[in-house]
């Protein structure tokens, strides 16, 4: 069946561009057409400003590119209400991408390069400035096109056909996002002076002619929670409002959240981590304790089905040794209403700064 390619601008257009803190809404309303899921892309032009010509020490997370500039992604429809609300979007993209792709994939695949990814964070200053060592920096406008990691791009049809979001069933679809503050995306000595503006913004997608009885669709969704660890023995708990198929957790020092010396999407290893217990309300599903960093990271990588299937990740021996790639996770069924906990034995209690624990539960909904 023929696809029609469409674009919609933000509901509130700003010809001069969108700046940090701006909230942008896109509304898809196309009677007679259904959205072809897994085709939605955010496109526009990014201009980074304030980079000093002499030093150029402004960086961002090279594994996620433009995704690091976006947060608070809300997806809803007129008839279904809220489908997802992602408040730690850049971290989730970092986790999923680095658990399923090697660095070479991240920085060379055309679909990723269009999202402004690079081989390492030091290359981001060159991308932002687009100037040689001896050339003056001018505000460089960089075009981007990114496949948003939202349920509408993680969909399948129950009958195996192209998944579609039926306008007749759900009505208007709204996607909202916030452009993050510079301190949330930039780091480096010169980062306090850096800012950015986004112009030519649009949401691109493909559409199909509407049909009377579209097949049910299954959307992959997330439940998120963020808690603080400030002791050597910490227990993080959550009650699941929906059934989940996997849990993924990563960590960050509170002092690094808005730091000029560290990227705030870092997958930091908990200092002195020696043991992790996954605590389930269903005693028949108890998991043996994880007692080595290698076991913890292996379970984390295997908790991402895309990574487990491809057998590829951005986890290298150097990153594992330096504590720059770490997570705890497990693929296991968690029924709705069940309680999940993780007990962590570490040396965080002896440090000056506590740590954040980010928990993501992978779920799904059917429409």
Report domain extents, the chain. Answer: 4-209, 217-366
Q: In whole angstroms, what is the distance from residue 141 CA to residue 164 CA?
A: 34
Q: Please give the Cα distance from 300 to 308 (Å, whole number).
A: 10
4-209 and 217-366 in the same fold: no
Q: Which residues contact 157 (CB under 8 A, 6 or more apart)?
A: 163, 164, 215, 216, 217, 218
d(CA 6, CA 111): 19
Residue reference for tokens 């603080």: 228
CA 342 to chain centre: 22
Helix boundaries (H) for the chain: 89-100, 103-108, 110-113, 122-129, 167-170, 182-185, 293-302, 305-310, 317-322
CATH match for 217-366 among 2.60.40, 2.60.120, 2.30.29, 1.10.10: 2.60.120
pLDDT number for residue 25? 96
Site of tokens 């960086």 = 59
How do the pLDDT tens digits run along the chain, 367 residues long?
A: 688 899 999 999 999 999 999 999 999 998 888 889 999 999 999 988 888 776 778 889 988 999 999 999 999 999 889 999 999 999 999 999 888 776 666 666 656 678 888 878 878 877 777 544 444 455 578 899 999 999 999 999 888 888 888 888 888 999 999 999 999 999 988 889 889 999 999 999 999 888 878 888 899 988 898 999 988 888 888 888 888 888 899 999 999 999 888 889 999 989 999 888 887 766 555 677 788 888 888 888 888 877 555 567 777 777 776 678 889 888 888 888 888 888 888 898 888 889 999 999 998 888 8
Q: Give every CB contact of residue 6 below 8 A, 6+ residues apart in sequence.
A: 30, 33, 204, 205, 206, 207
Domain 4-209 adopts which CATH fold? Hexon Major Viral Coat Protein; domain 3 (3.90.249)
């Amino acid at each position: 069946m023929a696809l029609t390619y469409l674009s919609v601008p933000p509901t509130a257009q700003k010809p001069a561009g969108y700046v940090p803190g701006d909230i942008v809404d896109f509304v898809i309303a196309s009677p007679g057409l259904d959205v072809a899921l897994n085709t939605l892309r955010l496109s526009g032009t990014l201009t980074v400003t304030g980079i000093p010509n002499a030093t150029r020490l402004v960086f961002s997370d090279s594994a996620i590119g433009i995704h690091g500039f976006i947060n608070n992604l809300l997806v809803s429809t007129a008839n279904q209400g809220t489908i997802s609300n992602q408040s730690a979007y850049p971290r989730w993209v970092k986790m999923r991408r680095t658990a399923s792709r090697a660095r070479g994939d991240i920085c060379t695949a055309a679909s990723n390069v269009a999202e402004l990814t690079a081989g390492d964070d030091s290359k981001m200053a060159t991308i932002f400035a687009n100037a040689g060592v001896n050339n003056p920096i001018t505000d460089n406008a960089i075009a981007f096109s990114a496949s948003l990691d939202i349920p509408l791009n993680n969909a399948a049809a129950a009958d195996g056909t192209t998944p579609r979001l039926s306008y007749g069933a759900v009505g208007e679809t709204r996607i909202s996002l916030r452009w993050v503050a510079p301190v949330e995306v930039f780091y480096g000595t010169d980062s306090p002076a850096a800012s950015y503006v986004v112009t030519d913004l649009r949401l691109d997608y493909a559409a199909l002619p509407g049909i009377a009885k579209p097949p049910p669709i299954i959307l992959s969704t997330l439940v998120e929670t963020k808690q603080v660890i400030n002791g050597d023995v910490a227990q993080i708990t959550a009650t699941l409002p929906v059934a989940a198929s996997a849990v993924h957790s990563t960590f960050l020092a509170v002092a690094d959240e808005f730091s000029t010396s560290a990227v705030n999407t870092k997958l930091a290893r908990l200092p002195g981590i020696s043991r992790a217990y996954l605590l389930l309300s269903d005693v028949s599903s108890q998991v043996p304790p994880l007692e080595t960093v290698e076991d913890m990271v292996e379970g984390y990588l295997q908790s991402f089905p895309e990574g487990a299937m491809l057998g590829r990740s951005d986890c290298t021996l150097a990153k594992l040794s330096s504590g720059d790639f770490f997570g705890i996770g497990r693929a296991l069924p968690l029924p709705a209403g069940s309680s999940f906990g993780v007990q962590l034995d570490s040396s965080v209690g002896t440090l000056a700064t506590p740590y954040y624990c980010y928990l993501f539960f992978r779920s799904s909904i059917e429409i």
